Amino acid sequence: MTHATTAEQQIDQRIVDIKLDDRSYPIVIGSGLFDDPSVWSSAGEGNCAAIVTNATVGPRYVAALERAVSHRFKRVINIELRDGEKFKDAASLNQIFDGLLSGRADRKTVLFALGGGVVGDMTGFAAACYMRGVPFVQVPTTLLAQVDSSVGGKTAINHPLGKNMIGAFYQPRLVVADLDTLSTLPAREFAAGLAEVIKYGPILDLRFLDWIEANIDALISRDTEALGYAIQRCCELKAEVVAKDEHETDVRAVLNFGHTFGHAIETGAGYGVWMHGEAVGCGMVMAADLSARLGMISEAYALRLRTLIKRAGLPVVGPRLGADRYIELMRSDKKSEAGEIRFVLVNEHGQASIRSAPDAMARQVIDANC
Ligand code: NAD
Ligand code: GLY
């Protein structure tokens, strides 16, 4: 749904609702959102807010966010983390707790996660833990975070032995995705976000896949209309899945298309060497290849997905870690059961399923794509 705010502003806002009983919340998508007070009304108000960001995003957007929310809170604490996936760890989490405790943040303090998926995941986890849970708001500033990580309540930090292994399901009370922030996003980070946009097509909505193929150039050139629609559609699709299976006991796992191979790439190459979205893009190429080898899709469909991922500016050949290392890393994936690797695989009707595959076949996929 799209609506205009005040007549003077004439800003189109798209709103997607996450429906989870008393944990329901809106995602507001649009331009100029930092300047529209009505957008922040469900952020809460009170004594204290804390903005958690990083050294790259903070200098660009903290002042605008502070202006947007400072009239709602008596004081605002700023916490600036180091930038990078390799700092998505216990030390950074502790830095958030240090900032909150030394700033005397009470249990009604609202945390604002200003940044990409790394800041969002860590701030969400800090909010879940601090004084056994304080409210938080996601203010995603990367495409990946706007279409995926800020929505649905997965929060985590990495462990040296595995990605996102320490975390919690904890929903924000509001998500504000301002399209204007994407103007400063470097091309590589933007492409990484496109991987998660593409992901939604083959697993949930073939018409959306057609739309992405037809509009990939508009998306790459950051056309606001195209971006607004893509972010809205991704959030709608994710909202449907999360409403059915918040804690990933079942269907939510389809959102991990490309992630089994992708997490192995990210962990195996060393956190931060491959961006999460890049690894997912390449992981989708490999998962599509595996789907084709299992007879679930044609080679032509697998090639169609590979071509789109490549057009988005993403790598389609994985790092040469060796098949043994890939298999070892994939065995510790959260979807594994009794040591058996489980993959999200697709058919040609825009549907996904979770299946195991013979190790020998997974090795063929690795050898053919890395
Ligand atoms: P990121 O948070 O590292 O951001 C990428 C880079 O862009 C960083 O250097 C960041 O500082 C910079 N940046 C952010 N916004 C910017 C802006 N507007 N202008 C200029 N630079 C900007 O990476 P990401 O791709 O946003 O997120 C990846 C993370 O998200 C991974 O840790 C992944 O595990 C996680 N993730 C979580 C979920 C979930 O459901 N919780 C889903 C997908 C991914
Ligand atoms: N990004 C996958 C999920 O939220 O379930």
Q: How confident is the model at residue 147 (pLDDT cuts 50, 70, 90)?
A: very high
259 is catalytic: yes
Query: If pLDDT is split at 50, 70 and 90, which confidence band does 336 have?
Result: confident
CA-based nearest residue to 179, from 61, 338, 356, 70:
61
Domain 192-369, CATH number (from 1.20.1090.10, 1.20.1630.10, 3.40.190.10, 3.30.1490.20): 1.20.1090.10
The stretch 188-194 carries a mean pLDDT of: 98
CA 174 / ligand 1 centre spacing (Å): 18
pLDDT band with cut points at 50, 70 and 90 for residue 160: confident
pLDDT, tens digit, 9 for 90 and up, residues 216-230: 999 999 999 999 999
Strand partners, 346: 352
Q: Are 253 and 335 in contact (CB under 8 A)?
A: yes
Q: Are 160 and 189 in contact (CB under 8 A)?
A: no
Quote the percentage of the chain above a pLDDT of 90: 93
The set of residues, in sequence order, having a beta carbon less than 8 Å from that of 10 and lying 6+ positions away, is 4
| CB of 277 sitting under 6 A from ligand 1 | yes
Which residue intervals of the chain bear CATH 3.40.50.1970? 2-184
Q: How far is the CA of 6 from the centre of ligand 1 (A)?
A: 31
Residue 39 tokens, joined: 């957008």
Q: What CATH topology corresponds to 2-184?
A: Rossmann fold (3.40.50)
Q: Is 132 considered catalytic here? A: yes
State the catalytic residue, choosing from 256, 306, 342, 369: 256
Alpha-carbon gap, residue 99 to 159, rounded angstroms: 22
* 3 pLDDT higher than 50: no
Please give the model's pTM, rounded to 2 decimal places.
0.96
Q: Is 238 one of the annotated active-site residues of the chain?
A: yes
Q: Distance between CA atoms of 30 and 19, rounded to whole angstroms? A: 20
Residue 11 has pLDDT above 60, yes or no: no
275 lines ligand 1 (CB under 6 A): yes
What residue spans in the chain does CATH classification 1.20.1090.10 cover? 192-369
Which of 196, 236, 246, 266 does the annotation list as catalytic? 196
How close is the Cα of 116 to the center of ligand 1, in Å?
3
The answer to whether 263 is a known catalytic residue is yes
Does the active-site annotation cover 266?
no
276 membership: H or E segment, kind and range? helix 276-293
